[in-house]
């Protein structure tokens, strides 16, 4: 199993306005979960890198109306969560975030989170109970 970049989720939480905010991202967003106070989104087309995902989310945010941008700014959580699948190979893997993407995160007022999924979890299967 190889260590690899999976995707970037955008995790949002707010006291109100989540539905309007999600709608403003447009049709090429996959809504993983949404309720009255939070939403978890992914880009519909799989990004190849962390930088690409950050740039694409930032570009969508840049097209928001002032009203929608205020909804964004009022969120209590604005998090870009990078998923990495751990593997046995290679021994070391780097996932770079460029200065321009860091600047985009700053302009978005968003945090960057990394979620690592262990290699062992993918290889473990539930054991069958032995017959009595």
Segments making up each domain of the chain, as ranges: 4-119
Task: Give the integer Cα–Cα distance in Å for 97 and 81.
Answer: 13
pLDDT recorded at residue 124? 54
Is-contact 9 84, C-beta < 8 A? no
The runs of H, that is alpha helices, within 10-65 are 18-24, 50-62
Helix (H, G, I), strand (E, B) or coil at 7: strand
Could you tell me the pLDDT band of residue 1, with boundaries at 50, 70 and 90? confident
CA 54/CA 59 separation, integer angstroms: 9
Is 50 exposed, middle or buried, given 0-12, 13-18 or 19+ CB atoms closer than 10 A?
Answer: buried
9 three-state secondary structure: strand
55-95, pLDDT tens digit by residue?
999 999 999 999 999 999 999 999 999 999 999 888 888 89
pLDDT, tens digit (0-9, with 9 covering 90-100), for 8-61: 999 999 999 999 999 999 989 999 999 999 999 999 999 999 999 999 999 999
Q: Judge whether residue 127 has pLDDT over 80.
A: no
Position 119 scores a pLDDT of 84
């Amino acid at each position: 199993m190889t260590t690899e970049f999976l995707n970037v989720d955008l995790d949002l939480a707010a006291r109100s306005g989540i539905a309007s905010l999600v709608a403003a991202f447009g049709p090429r967003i996959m809504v993983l979960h949404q309720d009255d106070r939070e939403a978890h989104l992914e880009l519909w087309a799989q990004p190849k890198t962390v930088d690409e995902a950050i740039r694409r989310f930032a570009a969508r945010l840049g097209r928001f109306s002032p009203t929608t941008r205020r909804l964004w700014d009022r969120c209590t959580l604005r998090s870009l969560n990078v998923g990495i699948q751990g593997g046995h190979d290679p021994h070391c893997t780097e996932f770079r975030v460029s200065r321009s993407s860091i600047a985009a995160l700053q302009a978005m007022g968003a945090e960057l989170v990394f979620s690592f999924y262990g290699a062992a979890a993918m290889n473990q299967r539930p054991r069958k109970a032995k017959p009595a």
